[in-house]
Structure 1
Amino acid sequence: MSKFPKGFLKGAATAAHQVEGNNINSDYWAMEHMKYSSFTEPSLDAVDHYHRYEEDIKMMAEAGLNAYRFSVEWARIEPEQGKFDDREIEHYRKVLECCQKYGIEPVVTLHHFTSPKWLIEKGGWEQEETVELFARYCRYVVEQLGSFMHYVCTINEANMGLQIAAISARYQAQMMAKMKNTGAGKAVEATAKETAKDAEGAVQVGLNMQKMMENMNKQREENIEVFKTPEPQVFVSARTQKGDMLIMKAHQAAKKAIKEVNPQLQVGITLSLHDIQAKKGGEEKAALEWEEEFLHYTPFIRDDDFFGLQNYTRSVYDSDGICAAPAEAELTQMDYEIYPQALERCIRRVYEELQIPVIVTENGIAVEDDRKRVDFIASATDGVAQCIADGIPVKGYFYWSLLDNFEWQKGYSMTFGLAAVDRDTQKRNPKPSLAYLGCL
Structure 2
Amino acid sequence: MLFNKDFMLGAATAAHQVEGNNVGSDYWIMENLEHSVFVEKSGSAVDHYNRYEEDIDLLKKAGLNAYRFSIEWARIEPVEGQWNEKEMEHYIKVIDYCLANGIEPVVTYHHFSSPAWLITKGGWESPDVVRYFERYAKYVTEHVAGKVKYVCTINEANMRLQMAFLIKDITERMSKQSEIQNQEGSVQVGVNLSQNQSQMMMSMMETAKAFNIDDPRKVANFVSQASEEGDLLVMKAHNAARNAIKAVDSSIQVGLTLSLHDIQCVDGGEENAKKAWDDEFTHYLPYIEKDDFLGVQCYTRKIFDANGANSTLETGPKTQMGYEDYPMGIVNVVRRCAEEFKGAIIVTENGIATSDDERRCEFIKEALTGLNDCITEGIKLKGYFAWSLLDNFEWQKGFSMTFGLISVDRNTMERTPKNSLKVLGSFIEA
TM-score, scaled relative to structure 1: 0.94
- CA 1:328–1:258: 2 relative to 1, 3 Å: closer
Read off the aligned partner of 2:255 and give its amino acid letter.
Answer: G
| Aligned with 1:405 (options 364, 378, 392) | 392
| Counterpart in the other structure of 2:52 | 53
2:94 is aligned to 95
Query: Is structure 2 residue 163 aligned with structure 1 residue 164?
Result: yes
Alignment partner, residue 217 of structure 1: 201
1:172-187 matches, within 5 Å, as 172-176=171-175, 179=176
Distance 1:267 1:360 in 2: 14
Q: CA deviation at 1:13?
A: 0.1
Matched, 1:334 2:321: yes
- Does residue 361 in structure 1 map to residue 345 in structure 2? no
Listed as ranges, the gaps of 5+ residues in structure 2 are none
Matched, 1:110 2:125: no
Alignment partner, residue 389 of structure 1: 376
CA distance in 1, matches of 2:294, 2:144: 22
- Aligned pair partner of 2:180 in 188, 196, 200: 196
Alignment of 1:138-287 (within 5 A): 138-176=137-175, 179=176, 192=177, 194-211=178-195, 213-229=197-213, 230-231=215-216, 232-287=219-274
> How far does the alpha carbon of each residue in 1:92-117 deviate from its partner, in whole angstroms, 9 at most, with x for none?
01101110111100000000000000
Q: Could you report, residue by residue, the CA deviation over 1:300-351 in whole angstroms, capped at 9, with x for unpaired residues?
A: 0011000000000000000111111447521100011011111111011101
Residues in 1 aligned to 2:99 and 2:314: alpha-carbon distance in whole angstroms: 47
Q: Separation in 2 of the partners of 1:11 and 1:342?
A: 19
- Cα 1:385–1:212, aligned 2, differ >3 Å: closer, same or farther? farther
Q: Distance in 1 between matches of 2:251 and 2:331?
A: 29
2:303/2:314 contact within 8 Å kept: no
Closer, same or farther in 2 for the Cα pair 1:287/1:120, shift >3 Å?
A: same
1:42 maps to: 41
Alignment of 1:112-127 (within 5 A): 112-127=111-126
> How far, CA to CA, are the matches of 1:132 and 1:19 in structure 2?
28
Contact 2:37 2:200 in 1 (8 A): no
Q: CA deviation at 1:217?
A: 2.4
CA distance in 1, matches of 2:414, 2:52: 13
Residue 437 (structure 1) aligned to one of 420, 424, 430: 424
Q: Distance in 2 between matches of 1:3 and 1:171?
A: 44
Q: What count of residue pairs does the alignment treat as equivalent? A: 424
Instruction: Give 1:218 shift.
Output: 1.5
Q: 2:401 aligns with which of 397, 409, 414?
A: 414
Determine helix, strand or coil for the equivalent of 1:271. strand
Indicate conservation of the 8 Å contact 1:330/1:338, yes or no.
Answer: yes
Distance in 1, matches of 2:365 and 2:285, equals: 30
- The one-letter amino acid paired with 1:149 is V
- Alignment of 1:373 with 2:360, yes or no, is yes
Partner of 2:295: 308
* Residues 160-194 of structure 1: CA deviation (Å, up to 9, x unaligned): 01111111111232344xx4xxxxxxxxxxxx1x3
CA separation in 2, counterparts of 1:99 and 1:424? 27
Q: Is the 1:274–1:342 contact (alpha carbons within 8 Å) kept by the matching residues of 2? A: yes
Distance 2:187 2:224 in 1: 13
- AA of the residue aligned to 2:237: A
Alignment TM-score, normalising by the size of structure 2: 0.97
Partners in 2 of 1:368 and 1:154 — Cα distance?
32
Does the CA-based 8 Å contact 2:95-2:147 persist in structure 1? Answer: yes
Identity of aligned residues (%): 53
Deviations 1:267-322 (A, max 9, x none): 00000000000111111001000000000000000110000000000000001111
Letter in 1 for 2:308: G
- Are the equivalent residues in 2 in contact too, given 1:197–1:335 (CA < 8 A)? no
One-letter amino acid of the structure 2 residue matched with residue 207 of structure 1: V
The 1:213/1:114 distance shift into structure 2, 3 A limit, reads: farther
2:15 corresponds to: 16
The amino acid of 2:285's aligned partner reads T
Q: Distance in 2 between matches of 1:123 and 1:403?
A: 33
Amino acid at match of 1:151: Y
Partner residue, 1:27: 26
Tell me the secondary structure at the aligned position of residue 90 of structure 1. helix
- Map 1:126-145 onto structure 2 (within 5 A): 126-145=125-144
Whether the 8 Å CA contact 1:198–1:324 is kept in 2: the answer is: no
Deviation at 1:122, TM superposition (A): 0.4
Distance, in Å, in 2 between the alignment partners of 1:328 and 1:221 is: 40
8 Å contact kept, 1:16–1:70:
yes
1:89, distance to aligned residue in structure 2 (A): 0.6
Residues 325 and 64 (structure 1), Cα distance of their counterparts in 2 relative to 1, 3 Å cut: farther
Unpaired runs of 5+ residues, structure 1, are 180-191
Contact persistence 1:308–1:361 (CA under 8 A): yes
- Whole-angstrom distance in 2 between the partners of 1:352 and 1:220: 41
